[in-house]
Amino acid sequence: MRQLLAATAVVMTVLMAGPAHAAAVEARIDLSDQRMRVYQYGFLRYTWPVSTARRGYVTPVGSYRPQRLEKMWYSRKYHMSPMPHSVFFRGGYAIHGTNAVKHLGSPASHGCVRLLPANAATFYSLVKSAGNGNVKITITR
């Protein structure tokens, strides 16, 4: 009986943890459909509309780890625009909240990944809890 309970505990731990290779938090941003999918331990938790780079600007594709978090940041490059709940992943590029919510779901930014402010706060909290080293950000076309 003890062996059965121990085996059941091991199986439940593996199932609850998700795939062994999965980051604690993974954000997958698809530039073609302007969506960000957030996974925890390999399981899809959220799907949110985003705004990425509009014509003439670039959102970098690739795989990244968060470099720094800023609860509130103001863009020095773009007229001190507010960037609440910023998760910087490459230099000045960040995933952050926006007041320009009517543009979510279509390209509108200077290169950052914009989210509804509540979604940016949720993502920021997930990253902060998991730690930068346990978060993966993947941006694809």
Q: Where are the domains of the chain?
A: 22-140
pTM reported for the whole predicted model: 0.84
pLDDT for res 78: 81
Cα 94 → chain centroid? 9
What is the token pair recorded at 80?
A: 């001190």
% the chain with pLDDT above 70: 84
pLDDT for res 6: 47
pLDDT for res 100: 95
Helix (H) or strand (E) holding 38: strand 35-40
What architecture is the 22-140 domain classified under in CATH?
Answer: Beta Barrel (2.40)
